[in-house]
Amino acid sequence: MSLMSEAKTLLNLAGDYFGARKSLTAITARATITYAKFGQQTDQWAALLDAGKSVEIPVRDLLNKLQNATTQLAKSSFAALSVEVEPLLHRSNELENIAEDIFKASQQSQDEALKNLKSAWHAKDPNSQKSVDHLKKAEAICSSAAVELDKQIKTRETVNLQLEDVAYRTYLALPDKKDLPRSAYTPSMRQKLGGSSQT
């Protein structure tokens, strides 16, 4: 889909946000797309900030269940897995704190960018240098935010994969796999095991 075609479908939405509907031009198209990207980034941040919990909680639940198991094999497995899990959970918690700090800072930058977009949107001469400068500044902020967000998402995905792996190995080490609460299943375990207790 071309820039103009994509912008056309979102033009009125952007116009309502900026307080005035406008016809589709190169300037309003760029402003519309940038506005939409900020909306997408906000959704991605929300998902990212919640992503750690989807694996941290199951890992803790599974490890607690394994700790309470009485067989010698389970005790040995717990000793080995807990040494592996704790640094991962610590790293995961660090990532959450870092992501929250970056998100808060990005919200301030996003507010600034949206003000620039609004100025470009309402400019008497949309093609004036001042209007174009407002637009370019907003686009630069959006682009920079996208790079940082992508970096945080990839780092989170790496840690989550490690937690998913150790969660599944903890599950396999359980002598009794019946009646596990749903909270003890990671997203990938629900896919593998169907989300219900498996023997």
Residue-wise pLDDT for 168-187, tens only, equals 999 999 998 887 888 889 98
Contact 102, 152 (CB under 8 A): yes
Kindly state the DSSP code that residue 179 receives in the 8-state scheme: T
- Maximum alpha-carbon separation in the chain: 78
Task: List, for the chain, all residue ranges whose pLDDT scores fall below the cut of 50.
Answer: 195-199
The answer for 60, left when phi > 0, alpha when psi is -120 to 50, beta otherwise, is alpha
Q: What's residue 199's pLDDT?
A: 38
Q: pLDDT at position 1, please?
A: 61
Q: What length does the chain have?
A: 199
Report the alpha-carbon distance of residue 108 to residue 98 in Å, rounded.
16
pTM, two decimals, is: 0.86
Could you give the 3-state DSSP secondary structure of residue 185?
Answer: coil
The whole-angstrom distance between residue 4's C-alpha and the CA centroid of its chain comes to 28
Confirm if 44 and 153 have CB atoms less than 8 A apart.
Answer: yes
